Structure 1
Amino acid sequence: MAPGLSSRLADTLDALRHPTRRGLFRTLAAVPALFLLYVLILIPFTPSISSIRKASSEQPAQILSADGRKLTEFKQSNRQWVALSGISPHVIDALIATEDHRFYAHFGLDWRRTAAAAINSFRGDRQGGSTLTQQLARNLYPEEIGRAPTLTRKIKEAITALKIEAVHSKDEILETYLNSVPFLYNAYGIEMAARTYFDTSADQLDVLQSATLVGMLKGNSYYNPVLNPERSLQRRNTVLKQMLKRGKLTATQLDSLSKQPLRIDFERQTEPPGPAPHFARQLRKWLIAWADRNDYSIYGDGLVVRTSIDSRLQAAASQAVTRQGNSLQNIANAAWGKRSAWSTDSSLVQTFIRESPEYATAMAKGRTPAQAMQELQADKDFMRALQRQKTRIQIGFLAIDPRNGQVKAWVGSRDFEEEAFDHVQQARRQPGSTFKPFVYGEAYRQGASPNDRLIDQAVEIDVGGGEVWRPADGTPPSGEAMTLSDGLAYSKNTITAQLIQQVGPAKVARLARQMGVRQSKLEAVPSLALGTSPVTLKEMVAAYGTIANGGGYLEPLLVSRIEDRDGRVIEEFSPQEPELALGRDVAYTLLDNLRGVIN
């Protein structure tokens, strides 16, 4: 070690062993200075004032159809915002008496309460010292502040509380708090809590109901009046005692009220799905991304989003899906209702059982495959649910205006509440013969004529690995020459298989992508001609729209414009210039051939 460094180290150790008055004073002065520096460093990592202004006044985006009907609104959670004047005064009395009785005297932090909580926690009796404003800060910004019991979290919470107090009045803070606090069962805010637990509104809550709901704030699950009524009753009575202590009840009232039962009238509150729920779900994803790019909040800025959906066409589409779904389901039920179709001896049914999560659970518990199969086959409820799941017909419906790409109707399943999976955007299915126009379109693009002929004959195509593909139709080949237009009109597999060999599977796949099948992977193999590569309905409708639009592809358009809360247009969304996927002559030739399919 260098002599100078050794000397300085020795001096430092000596100063630590024999501190001077000046050194001790400097050390003590450094502690609050460092703490203050740490607080200043954390300030930029807390919510901004502008963010606090938005979060404290919920104005969800309003989603309108093209003809001005409300489709839905994008709320952050299942709640109905009510003004403070629309909340029972018993709720406010119970809340302040129990959670923060000096609420109107502090500026976000209650130093006396914080100090008392720290002392009691140090003694082993851990207590919370947060004010209502600090609790609101946690509720509004759970990610930015967090809930870990650390000094950093408490400082962030305190800074945010001071910011909230700086920009909002006490009444505004109370209103925001009571509209944002969670009450289990997907109920947020006092209005939804009143409906969920007492089948009433926030302004009609009586003293006992108010005390019960405020009592839940100490621990929603622990004091859940549905599952833990005894604890909830005790906690309610504790709140009543606090109201007596703060002069909001008399001793006589307390004595009478404490003897009353809870009288819960519980019913979960569900949000109505609206006329176009699958469309709304996709739109929410798109709008969140747009809002992030443009510094807007879809929950607090009161945006008005005018979509391309026509509410009349949407209603007609929903009716068509219901009618067709019921008709097809009756056919399926009749087929599966036969004893030989859905039987525990059926190899297909046994495959369904083996693919189920319940089978995997049984195997994880140590059952042999035979035991797991036998147990599940004997479970009538499981077998009934499995049959319904595997035999229920599902439908997707999408309507697009090919002239501008605007989506006019979107139905993702027969019943959104029963089947939220979107069979328009999410489901990938083999399109089958609906893929054939891409094969004929590529042939016409390469110069073929609808009057060109191919022989309707048995086809064998070597696909490698010693395998031979033999596409066939429902009837034996006629052996006669058939025009390409008739091959498409009658959906002949033998003709289409020969045609894709002539034009090339890779070129058919490329054309399909250009026309609109842009997200799904297409295998460039001969069987692609018969639609063996899974695609989405949205891709197929967009691609068929390209044919109707004279060969020009347009990206499906969901929104026409977005306005602010005052009606000023923020952004308009017009169709882009079509991407030429097919020449107009080819597109119209193909369009004429598809008329033959309908005829």
Structure 2
Amino acid sequence: MKRLIPQFLQILEKGLTQANQPIARALWHLRHPTLRGMAWACAAIPALFVVYVLALIPFTPSIGDIRKAKIEQPAQILSADGKLLAEFKPSNREWVKLKDISPNVVNALIATEDHRFYQHFGLDWRRTASAALHTFSGDRQGGSTITQQLARNLYPDEIGRAPTLTRKIKEAITAFKIEALYTKDEILETYLNTVPFLYNAYGIEMAARTYFDKSAGDLNVLESATLTGMLKGNSYYNPVLNPERALQRRNTVLAQMVKYGKLTPAAYTTLARRPLRIDFERQTEPPGPAPHFAQQLRKWLAAWADRNDYNLYSDGLVVRTTIDSRLQAMATQAVTLQGNQLQGIANSAWGTRAGCAGGRDLLQTFLRETPDYRAAKDAGLTDDEALKRVSSDRNLVQAVCESKTRVQADFLAMDPRNGQIKAWVGSRDFSQDPFDHVQQARRQPGSTFKPFVYAAAFEDGAKPSDTFIDKPVEIPLAGGEVWRPSDEDEPSERAISLRDGLAYSRNRITAQLMETVGPNKVARLARAMGVRDSELDPVPSLALGTSPVTLKEMVSAYGTIANLGGYVEPVMVTRIEDRNGEVLAEFAPVAPKQELPAAAARTLVDVMRDVVSRGTGSSIRSRFGVRGDVAGKTGTTQGNADGWFILIQPQLVAGAWVGFNDSRVTLRSDYWGQGAHSALPIVGDFFQRAQRSKLVDSRIRFATDQTPGWFEERSGRLREWFQHLFAAPPAKTEAPVVTRNPARHAPAVTASASESASAFASATDIEPKPLPAQPPLLQAPVPASGVASGVASGTANGSVDGETHGSGEPALAPTPTPDDNAPPDTGEGTARPLVGASASVSTSP
């Protein structure tokens, strides 16, 4: 072993010596170069460079991409009647033709950025070499042509942003491709329409509006030089924040124009002395007639474009939507009009102009939620000291007060036959509140949820004439708690029919009905009919609408009612075309899915007619004069935090919600806070306008007439024959006495089911005299200050009752207008969550 080790080391040493011989020879040749070796080395350097450039070509934009960019066009969103609703642009930019841009801009641009623009083919070799020499000597300079800058603007991700040799080579390759496909004028036009100018202004048109409040075609020499000077560094030469630098840079541009013959020396001498004058105003994209709808559509369309390999911002898609621009305008007007009126009431109730003087305690809660308060606490101040500091800031207090007390409203209308959305208003003002309350805000629906309870009962075979005794209701809950729903009046101990229970929105009757059909069945039916995204807590108080939902879900579910039990998913788009009009996708109406038996749906529609003919929503007819076959339901939640109303018609279903982003804020009025007076006027105004414009046919009726079967038909004929055969001679009698009830107060409760059906048989102003022993359902008028709220009692451990004062709609309006003599919403329940139920919350930001 000892002899083997030295031999192994000797062999290893010999092998290393032989391996190092080529390296040693190469080093020797480098130290002693020959002419032949130098020639090979010189030839290898450009060859390697060419290989490197060729290797980068696949990583630059393709010819197809550049050709597509030449005809770039954003998606256009059109209404069903052909009106432009929106354009989906990647940035705030308005494209203008080169002929519509001031020649001063073109002259300043070419003189400053690329004076040999018309001589080169994308790369200025002399300027590039000069820039390279200055950069190597420590004085870094840019050598990009206008075409190279355009390449960088169009394809920042493909080319890159780092100042490296690779980026410059990619930039040059792309510039050559652009020059091959674009004319010089097209390059200038594309460049001027894509270059950024700060403040979300892209392109020369938006820059001209932002900094000088004029169009690009009206820019003079000084203004053109100012904007051109910004191209070297938008922030550094920003005329708003750095006017001195911007002035110097402007004069440099003017000097360049003199150098290349675009401006005379005399004109330069005069112009250079003038001050920098700007007229700055940020430019915002116009919201369009349906901004919240467009906002939701953009999300859906972006997903569709990704799946089908289309570019939303450049492929020129034409999207034809279901929105009717005329109905959309009517909906916007109705929301604005009612929202402004309610805002005046809120300002008065809260003392908004005095910093919420009418709600100091709640204001302090709001102030504790501000970043200013948290910063004061982080600084070591006590609660009182921090609150005192933020309360002393009047501007902060006023801003918080105005934000919290700003009334919000939303509206949605759709065709129940095919699910097509016809109008969508997500807030009072998109520019102030872009949050979409139609699809994003979840609020308690209150009594607008009651029709689902009655639908479940009718599905189980209940009849509108079936009765429940109006008595105190106590429903045991899990954990030993008890739910005690109440109405605004005391229990009458009389029988009330289901028809009257829904028409006058009686909470105790609905609660007993819920106990009969079961919360699980009601929740399942509501989901099947359209409330499919929000969670429904299957507890007894669900009958009074304690689980928060969206307006879109509720209108969709009411569409199922209007469609006689057939559910159709809401749709926004009918078809998508390319820029040449070729249809890429068509979305035909989906056949309705029968989620509620047609017989039960017919019965429910018939009962809901009474809501608007003599019940809580009767001002739809008396005040707004809505004609035809309509039905609906009002809704008000606990403390008047939310007001709802949804109206159904065979062609159109429309719903509205009114409230505040923060559910702790209300209108603080037992009159205006009710759905019959806050949300109903929006729907009433809309339907009134739509019917007058003939956009809704008031002659169409719901197909609720039941066709008699063979046995019923023949039995009826036989009965008529016997009555005719054995009828006694008619005696002369006086005409029956009828009374006109100007307030449309129907005699309410009856002692039996047959009497109840008779007493409420008429839905017109003429109705039989009530029996003396049967007092009317609506109680005596209440003072203008409001109604006496029934106090809902609960258990000591915090279980919550149902609704405290009926529907929140008083028996008589405090100050009714001449058109508002209908019986107010006396039975509308206000929903309170109980233990285990969803709380009343707003999902708005």
Q: Same fold (TM over 0.5)?
A: yes
1:335–1:341 contact (8 Å) kept in structure 2: no
1:101 and 2:115 matched: yes
Residue 130 and residue 401 in structure 1: after superposition, are their counterparts in 2 closer, same or farther (change >3 A)?
A: same
Deviates further, 571-580 or 34-43:
34-43
SS at match of 1:409: strand
Where does residue 249 of structure 1 map in the other structure?
Answer: 263
Q: Which segments of 5 or more consecutive residues in structure 2 lack a partner in the other structure?
A: 1-7, 30-35, 614-845
> C-alpha separation between the residues in 1 aligned to 2:546 and 2:446?
6
Where does residue 216 of structure 2 map in the other structure?
Answer: 202
What is the CA deviation profile of residues 60-96 of structure 1, one whole-angstrom value per residue up to 9, with x for unaligned ones? 3332222222223333322221111222222112112
Where does residue 361 of structure 1 map in the other structure?
Answer: 375
What is the CA deviation profile of residues 203-252 of structure 1, one whole-angstrom value per residue up to 9, with x for unaligned ones? 23222211111000111121111221111000011112222332323333
> C-alpha separation between the residues in 2 aligned to 1:13 and 1:482?
109
1:58–1:81 contact (8 Å) kept in structure 2: no
Where does residue 388 of structure 1 map in the other structure?
Answer: 402
SS at match of 1:196: helix
> C-alpha separation between the residues in 1 aligned to 2:20 and 2:462?
95
Where does residue 64 of structure 1 map in the other structure?
Answer: 78
1:181 and 2:195 matched: yes
Give how far 1:31 is off.
7.0
SS at match of 1:267: coil
CA RMSD of aligned residues (A): 3.1
Where does residue 375 of structure 1 map in the other structure?
Answer: 389
1:442 and 2:452 matched: no
Number of residue pairs aligned between Structure 1 and Structure 2: 598
Percent identity between the two aligned chains: 68
Residue 159 and residue 578 in structure 1: after superposition, are their counterparts in 2 closer, same or farther (change >3 A)?
A: farther
Where does residue 76 of structure 1 map in the other structure?
Answer: 90
> C-alpha separation between the residues in 2 aligned to 1:437 and 1:523?
17
Give how far 1:368 is off.
3.0
> C-alpha separation between the residues in 2 aligned to 1:86 and 1:342?
52
Where does residue 608 of structure 2 map in the other structure?
Answer: 594
Q: 1:517 aligns with which of 519, 526, 531?
A: 531
1:532 and 2:539 matched: no
> C-alpha separation between the residues in 2 aligned to 1:507 and 1:30?
83
What is the CA deviation profile of residues 404-458 of structure 1, one whole-angstrom value per residue up to 9, with x for unaligned ones? 1111111111111222111112211111111122222223233333333333333
> C-alpha separation between the residues in 2 aligned to 1:497 and 1:316?
37
Give how far 1:365 is off.
4.1
Superposed, 1:550-565 pairs within 5 Å as: 550-565=564-579
Give how far 1:190 is off.
1.1
> C-alpha separation between the residues in 2 aligned to 1:160 and 1:369?
62
Deviates further, 279-288 or 26-35:
26-35
1:350 and 2:364 matched: yes
What is the CA deviation profile of residues 554-577 of structure 1, one whole-angstrom value per residue up to 9, with x for unaligned ones? 121212223333333333222111
> C-alpha separation between the residues in 2 aligned to 1:134 and 1:513?
58
Give how far 1:44 is off.
4.1
Q: 2:142 aligns with which of 108, 128, 134?
A: 128
SS at match of 2:585: strand
Larger fraction in helix? 1
What is the CA deviation profile of residues 150-181 of structure 1, one whole-angstrom value per residue up to 9, with x for unaligned ones? 45544443333333222212211111000111
> C-alpha separation between the residues in 1 aligned to 2:15 and 2:531?
74
1:19 and 2:36 matched: no
> C-alpha separation between the residues in 1 aligned to 2:246 and 2:557?
59
> C-alpha separation between the residues in 2 aligned to 1:116 and 1:147?
22
> C-alpha separation between the residues in 2 aligned to 1:506 and 1:157?
65
1:134–1:158 contact (8 Å) kept in structure 2: yes
Where does residue 226 of structure 2 map in the other structure?
Answer: 212
Between structure 1 and structure 2, the one with the greater Rg is: 2
Give how far 1:541 is off.
0.7
So what's the TM-score if we normalise by structure 2?
A: 0.66
Q: Which segments of 5 or more consecutive residues in structure 1 lack a partner in the other structure?
A: none
> C-alpha separation between the residues in 1 aligned to 2:46 and 2:492?
96
Superposed, 1:219-238 pairs within 5 Å as: 219-238=233-252
What is the CA deviation profile of residues 453-472 of structure 1, one whole-angstrom value per residue up to 9, with x for unaligned ones? 33333333343345433332
1:573 and 2:587 matched: yes
Where does residue 457 of structure 1 map in the other structure?
Answer: 471
1:344–1:350 contact (8 Å) kept in structure 2: no
1:165 and 2:172 matched: no
> C-alpha separation between the residues in 1 aligned to 2:15 and 2:487?
95
> C-alpha separation between the residues in 1 aligned to 2:88 and 2:74?
5
Where does residue 433 of structure 1 map in the other structure?
Answer: 447
Deviates further, 167-176 or 13-22:
13-22
1:475 and 2:489 matched: yes
Residue 210 and residue 555 in structure 1: after superposition, are their counterparts in 2 closer, same or farther (change >3 A)?
A: same
2:530–2:553 contact (8 Å) kept in structure 1: yes
Give how far 1:29 is off.
7.6
What is the CA deviation profile of residues 41-60 of structure 1, one whole-angstrom value per residue up to 9, with x for unaligned ones? 55444433333233334433
> C-alpha separation between the residues in 2 aligned to 1:319 and 1:547?
27
1:278–1:412 contact (8 Å) kept in structure 2: yes
Where does residue 517 of structure 2 map in the other structure?
Answer: 503
> C-alpha separation between the residues in 2 aligned to 1:6 and 1:439?
97
- Aligned residue identity for 2:414: I
